[in-house]
Amino acid sequence: MQVGQSLDLRVEGGKLVIEPARESLEDLLAKMTPANAHGLVLEGAAAGAEDW
């Protein structure tokens, strides 16, 4: 690990596991295209003052 490096954190068996991040948000967003992006998905009934 290096100073400034992104890390993945998770708990396994009551222990904190720290590993270098596999991909950054920027890397993931760079893979988005119009072909693999989905539209708005509305699930469930309105929970407040939403209107759909």
The residues spanned by each domain of the chain are 1-33
Positive or negative CA dihedral for 31, 32, 35, 37? Answer: positive
Q: What is the pLDDT of residue 42?
A: 78
Tell me the per-residue pLDDT of 7-33, one tens digit each, with 9 for 90 and over: 999 999 999 999 998 888 889 899 999
- Name the one residue in this structure whose structure tokens are 């991909």: 23
Residue 33 is encoded by which pair of tokens? 């295209």
Range list of H helices, 1-52: 25-30
Spatial distance between the Cα atoms of 17 and 14, rounded to a whole number of angstroms: 9
SS3 37: coil
What is this structure's pTM? 0.43
